[in-house]
Structure 1
């Protein structure tokens, strides 16, 4: 089989490496719009411990210990300068995204998969669909490319809050959620360690707070200094660092009603994005990639049947993911209505914000069980 994968991020790399292991004689090519050194973001949250959890991409790397991943089993919510500490009930893994992507790319190259960099694909003709049995679109959140065709045009919704994905040398040993009220408005930080000396530090605020505080007119450096002052106590004098090329923006939710059209199929954020406040983005990318591997491997002689099988199993999961992520995003977009609550009351409101929805973890577990089982189902 001849397969083109667009995007050398976690979803595309996981699909490519796992389908190649099952079918060594298949021809798989990956194209990536960025150069070999570019990789957006700081740390990501993954499920479980490496080599133990099948939705953790580090489990597929023989040298996973070199990535210096950090394990988190407590959640800390800070409000009114008071903290509530609870057990997460599960083990979470903080990992550097750049290192993870680099090692997944090396895994693919070691399996004989070709990766071409600085090769954007924006038009339908760029995909050369007729030259491939299957085209896997895994290029992240992209709503402007023409190759979606009418059948795969996404629905796009922008959140009300502004946010920035900072990094910091301050080490946060728990999953942290920090609420701050300042004269210019309310700010929320989502932070956790992802290496021995670095943490992710995502900050969000309302559009009104963003403008009242002057963030809309600040330089990147001035914004870093301002945010560091807002969270001075928690950062303990450490700076926050902006990722190259990223600015404060509204979160974009991208969703689809169908995962494929013809021989084109979507996975990862290209299929469904989800708000960072539930931390399942990379997990969903891995689960979706594994489901596609299963469908394509067992229906290799009939791509239409393979993609119909994938769509049947992946879309209910993606729709549930969307419900959980959107409900969580809306909770943060209305958090100013809850800032008067005590720390325990706010912690309870946060913990129960998705209680009316069917639970997501069992659905993820069932999807993984199907994806990793042997034989067609």
Structure 2
């Protein structure tokens, strides 16, 4: 059986490893349009236990990734000059490029056939493949080859965002919300190595136009943002890597496969960066697809149907939470009218998945101070 995976991001690489290790007689080929050391963005962040599922299922990958992770506990919310700490919430982060390199190393050890620097423009060249996997991101060619059959719907949020790096090393995952001269603007920032941090800036469409970002080059935008976030950056510069302004795409598909084509990761769904789960979800998609193929190795239609049936209910909950978080950010300027601790509580409850009692269990120190302030102001 021949399987062609289009895209050598985390999902595509990990799927190739799982299929190779399955013990089944598959010829697996991975095709990637970019160079092996090319990647968009800087660091990726995970919830503290997000990769624990790898410990038993894939100790080789777990042991390769774990020592490279940056770890911290708590989220810092900066609002109106006050720093509000949300205790009890742990995270890890790693350079996206380093994560890809670790997966590439594992793939080389398994002698997986990976071709880099090869753009795919027509899936007809893989007409003899038993399965074509679209692990090729938001603009997926595999999905676009038949969006009617996949039941694709793509919409865009109104906020604009740009993804930078910086040599300012932050002690924890932080959010800085500012009322700039042009309107509300915020930055998501966290370290992903001993020397680097991600610095993702987001603003409303109105702020975007009022600041003139719609007329600026990448370097001009970077320079203006360094001024706006000068106190946060503490003298450090922003570093660009295709750091253009974008609108976040909401990708949805009614059907996950059609014929001999199947999609996963960002080609299938997107999860807003505010919940830090995109890479994890893509890897879990790969696990679900590989498991379904192992269960039905001689019946690909049955395998693909099982993949969607078993994975979709789990994924829907996480994507719905991500979409709820995205909607909170679409209106973060309005939420900024709240005082710092009420604003932080609004932030924690934004997905609708945590009521006050659950928040109390997760972040008891924060809730105690929030309640003290509520009582004092009553």
Shift of 1:143: 5.6
Measured in 1, the distance between the counterparts of 2:59 and 2:46 equals 9
Shift of 1:13: 0.8
CA distance in 2, matches of 1:249, 1:19: 35
The 2-side partners of 1:95 and 1:221 are apart by: 25
Structure 2 partner of 1:196: 194
Q: Is 1:329–2:302 an aligned residue pair?
A: no
**For structure 1, which segment, 347-356 or 312-321, has the greater mean C-alpha deviation from structure 2 after superposition?**
312-321
Aligned position for 1:373: none
Correspondence 1:1-377 to 2 at 5 A: 1-23=1-23, 25-48=25-48, 52-54=52-54, 60=61, 62-64=63-65, 68-89=68-89, 91-126=90-125, 128-129=126-127, 131-142=128-139, 146-243=144-241, 245-355=242-352
- 1:173 aligned counterpart, secondary structure: coil
Distance 1:357 1:349, change over 3 A: closer
**Distance in 2 between the 1:86 and 1:348 partners?**
9
2:366 aligns to what?
Answer: none
Ranges in structure 2 where 5+ consecutive residues have no aligned partner: 356-378
Asked if 1 retains the 8 angstrom alpha-carbon contact of 2:264 and 2:286, the reply is: yes
Q: Offset of 1:356 from its aligned partner?
A: 5.4
1:50 CA drift (Å) = 9.4
* Secondary structure of 1:234's aligned partner: helix
Please, which moves more after superposition, 40-49 or 199-208? 40-49
RMSD of aligned alpha carbons:
2.2
Change (3 A) 1:16 1:325: same
SS in structure 2 at match of 1:86: strand
SS of 2:158's equivalent in the other structure is strand
User: Which stretch shows the higher mean deviation, 291-300 or 139-148?
Assistant: 139-148
Which piece of structure 1 moves more, 214-223 or 261-270? 214-223
SS in 1 for 2:215: coil
Task: Tell me: CA distance 1:178–1:141, structure 2 relative to 1, closer, same or farther (3 Å).
Answer: same
State the distance in 2 between where 1:208 and 1:250 align: 13
SS state at 1:160 partner: coil
Q: Partner of 2:34: helix, strand, or coil?
A: coil
Distance 1:316 1:64, change over 3 A: closer
How many Å apart are 1:318 and its aligned residue? 2.7
- Aligned mates of 1:193, 1:58 — CA distance in 2: 25
Give CA-to-partner distance per residue, 1:215-274, whole Å, 9 cap, x none.
Answer: 12222222112111111111111111121x341011111111111112211111111011
Residues 5-32 of structure 1 show CA distances to partners (whole Å, capped at 9, x for unaligned) of 0000001111110121122642110000
The TM-score with structure 1 as length reference comes to 0.88
Between the aligned partners of 1:75 and 1:43, the Cα distance in structure 2 is 17
2:312 partner SS: helix
User: In the alignment, is the contact (CA less than 8 A) between 2:150 and 2:258 conserved in 1?
Assistant: yes
Query: For residues 50 and 273 of structure 2, what CA distance do their matches in structure 1 show?
Result: 21
Q: CA deviation at 1:308?
A: 0.6
- TM normalised by structure 2 equals 0.88
**Does the Cα contact within 8 Å between 1:258 and 1:315 map onto a contact in 2?**
no
Task: Identify unmatched segments of 5+ residues in structure 1.
Answer: 359-377
Report the alpha carbon displacement of residue 53 of structure 1 after superposing the two structures with TM. 4.1
Q: In the superposition, relative to structure 1, how do residues 52 and 59 fare at CA in structure 2: closer, same or farther (>3 Å)? A: farther
**Total equivalences in the alignment:** 353
For 2:263 and 2:158, the matched residues in 1 are separated by 26
User: Are residues 338 and 64 of structure 1, via their aligned partners in 2, closer, same or farther at CA, if it must alter by over 3 Å?
Assistant: closer
Partners of 2:87 and 2:211 in 1: how far apart? 35
**Alignment check: 8 A CA contact 1:9 1:101 kept:** yes
